[in-house]
Chain A
Amino acid sequence: MRKSSSTTVQELPGSAAYRPTPPPAWRPRTDPAPLLPDPEPFRVLGTDAAAAADPELLLTLYAQLVRGRRYNAQATALTKQGRLAVYPSSTGQEACEVAAALVLREQDWLFPSYRDTLAAVARGLDPVQALTLLRGDWHTGYDPHEHRIAPLCTPLATQLPHAVGLAHAARLKGDDVVALALVGDGGTSEGDFHEALNFAAVWRAPVVFFVQNNGFAISVPLAKQTAAPSLAHKAVGYGMPGRLVDGNDAPAVHQVLSEAMERARSGGGPTLVEAVTYRMDAHTNADDATRYRGDADVEAWREHDPILLLERELTARGLLDDGHRRTVAEGAEAMAARLRERMNADPVLDPMDLFAEVYAERTGQLREQADLLRAELEASEETGDAGEGSHSPHSPRGPRGEEGDAR
C-alpha cells in the first residue's frame, strides 16, 4: 500500500482512526470469512460426532471400503500378470473414492481422473468397463451417459472445466443435476483447475470440486506444489467456500461432500473440498516410491487407515462382530474372484475399430487407410501369420517409464 502523506501509521480496518477513501468504483464483493476452511480437517470418527453417525451409513461405508481395498489389490495384481497395462492404485484413499460415489444421486455426474476407477465402480460401473483404459483395449470402456460418469481423464485437471460446463448446461435447462469433479493435489497447480473454479464461481454452477490431497504428485510432495495454507484455502480467491476434511474418515468425507452437494443443488454454487489423505501404494505399479519417500511416513499413515478407523468405531459401538466382518470380507473376495476371472479372458479386438468414430462420417483418407489395413490383415491371414490381428494385447509389455505416468 502506498504511504499516505498525512499519516505515518497505516491504521487497520475497524480502528477508529481508519478513514477509508476507496476509489469510486471500489466496493467489497464478498466477505471472505465464511468461505475460509476450518483450521483443522473435519472429522467424525474419534470425536463426539461419531455417536450420532447413522449406523446404516457406517456399515455401508465399511463394506464399500473393504471391497474397494480388495479391488485395488486385485487390480494391482492384474498388472503383474500383464492383464492391465498400468494401475494407479487408490489404496489408502478408499474413503474418498467411496464417499464420492455414495453422495451422488442417479442424475448427478461424476468426473473422475485416472486414479478414480474405484469411485466409478462404487457408483455402479462394471469394473471391467472401468478398467478398459488401463487394460489398453480402448480409451473409455463405457458409455458415459449410462451411469453419468465422464471418461476417466488423464491430462491433469482438464476434466474440471467439463464438469463446470455440464453443471452449467443442466442448470440452464432447469434440471436438478450436480457435477462432482475429482482431482489430485498436483492437479490443483494446473491452469485448468484455476479456470474451472473461476468459471464455476462466476456462473454459480452446481459443481463440487473434490481434491484428494494424497501427499504426492508422482514423486513431488505438496510443499513443492503450492505455498497456499491449504488447498481448500484456494477456494476463497474464487469466492467459493473451501472445506477441509480428514480424507481417511469415511463418514466425515461423506458428510462434507453431502453438504457441498446439497449447497450446489439448492443454488448455492460450487464448493472446493480438500480431503487430506495418503497414497499408500506407489504412484502406479510402474513407480518406485522408495526414491522419494521413507517408510516412516507410510507407517504413520497405516495407523490412520480408513478401514481401521471405521472398524474401531463400529466395534466400539457393537455394530460389527466377527461374523459380519467375515461376510463383508467374503463378499469382497467374491468380487475380486469375478474380476480376476473376467479379466483373464482376452478382450476381442477388431483392428478395423481404429477407424471407427474418428468422425461421424469417415473422411476419404480414413477410408483409404482402412482399406490399407484391411488388405494387410487379409494378407496376413492368408499367409497364416496371425500378426497383431484380432488377438489379445497381452504379450509381455515393454519397460515402462520410471516416472510411471498413468498414460
Chain B
Amino acid sequence: MTTATTTAPGTAAPPKPATMAQALRRALRDAMAEDPAVHVLGEDVGTLGGVFRITDGLAAEFGDDRCTDTPLAEAGILGAAVGMAMYGLRPVVEMQFDAFAYPAFEQLFSHVARMRNRTRGAMPLPITVRVPYGGGIGGVEHHSDSSEAYYMATPGLQVVTPATVEDAYGLLRAAIASDDPVVFLEPKRLYWSKADWSPDAPATVEPLGRAAVRRRGSSATLITYGPSVPVCLEAAEAATAEGWDLEVVDLRSLVPFDDETVCASVRRTGRAVVVHEATGFGGPGGEIAARVTERCFHQLEAPVLRVAGFDIPYPPPMLERHHLPGVDRVLDAVARLQWEAAS
C-alpha cells in the first residue's frame, strides 16, 4: 500500500505541540491540495468547519464544491459519495457523531463495502468515512458510541483508528489514498491530545494494516487501539510498581488485522489483555482473543482476557466513568493473568 512522503509548502506551522484535530485537518488539507479528486462532504463541514472543526478552512481554501455542506441525511451523503466515487472522485465523508452514522449503514454495508466485489474489481470505491467515536467527553446519549464491531464484521471495509497525533495525519492520508473504502474512526476524546508534531516536517504516510508497539515490555501484552491506547500506556507505567513490565500494542487498523505484530508480542510475553471501550459481548475483543489463542496457544501462560465497556447502552455522561475501561480495571485484569503459576 501507499508509502509516501509529503512536504506541505506554503502554510505556516502551527505552534508546537500540535493536536490530533490539527493533524487530521492538515491531512485533509494536504490530500485536497495534492489531488483534485478528493472531495469532503458532510453536515456542517463547510462554513462551520465541522462540529469538531476538523474541516475548518477547507471550504474557504478549496471552495464549496470541494468541501460541501450537505442536507441532513447520512444515507444520502454516503449514497451520493458512492456515485461520486463511481465517477472517479475520492470522497471523504464526515459523519457528525458515531451514533449518527447508523442511518448510513445500509449504503455502507450493501454498497460501499461490496461494490468492488460485486463488479469483479471494475468499480472500486475509494471512499473514506470519518467517524468521531468513543466516550469520555461528557456527551449525552447518542454521542459516545464505539461501533467498530459492526464495521469489522463487514467484509470489504477497512477499519482504521489513530491513537497518536502523528498517526492521525499518516493514517488519514493513507486512508484517503487507499483504493478501498475505509471507515476512519477518530477517538473524540483524543482530538485535543497533543504531541510535538510539526506538519511542516515531511510526514510519512503510514501503510494501513500495521500495528505499532507503543511500549516495549516483557511480562504481558496489552492489545488496544484508539482512545484506550493512552489508558493502557498509563496502566503500563503504573504496573511497574507491581513489578510488571507491560508491552502495549496499538492496533491502528482493525481491518486488515495485523496478526503478525500482535502474535509476535504475545509469543514473547505469554500473556495478553485486550482493552477497548466497545461492549465486550460480540465486541472486537472476542475476535482478537480468539485470533491470539488460535495462533499463540502454546506460548500462552493464561487465558487472553478482555477489558471492555459493559454490555449496556452507552451510559449517561455522569456515569460514564464507571463504564469506560480505566487504568484500575486494566491493572485488575493484568493481576488475573495467573502469575502464581509462573512463579
Contact = CB atoms under 8 A, between A and B. Distances in A.
Interface of A: 138-140, 142-145, 150-151, 155, 158, 160-170, 172-173, 179, 191-192, 194-196, 198-199, 202, 353, 356-361, 363-365
A140 B119 contact: yes
Given A158-B106, A199-B76, A365-B257, A169 B122 contact: no
Interface stretch (B107-115, B162-170, B242-250): B107-115
Contact of B81 (A138, A165, A202): A165
Interface residues of B, number: 49
Contacts, number: 144
B87 interface: yes
B264 to A, nearest CB: 13
Contacts of A172: 39, 65, 89
A37 to B, nearest CB: 24
Given A158-B110, A198-B76, A199-B70, A139 B86 contact: no
B87 A169 contact: yes
A166 B124 contact: no
Nearest to A166: B83
A165 B123 CA distance: 15
Interface in B160-211: 178-180, 209
Contacts of B155: 358
Interface string B99-133: 00001001100110011111111111000000000
A195 B121 contact: no
B80 to A, nearest CB: 4
Contact of B180 (A138, A162, A359, A365): A359
Nearest to B119: A140
B232 interface: no
Contacts of A360: 116, 124, 178-180
A171 B76 CA distance: 18
Contacts of B39: 172
A261 to B, nearest CB: 17
Nearest to A364: B259
Given A162-B83, A163-B83, A167-B83, A143 B119 contact: yes
Contacts of A143: 119, 122-123
A353 B118 CA distance: 11
User: Nearest 9 A-B pairs (CB), nearest first?
Assistant: A165-B83, A161-B79, A195-B76, A165-B80, A166-B83, A169-B87, A162-B83, A139-B118, A143-B122
A363 B208 CA distance: 11
Contacts of B82: 161-162, 165
Contacts of A356: 117, 120-121
11 contacts: A138-B120, A158-B79, A164-B80, A165-B81, A169-B84, A173-B87, A179-B83, A192-B107, A195-B75, A196-B79, A359-B156
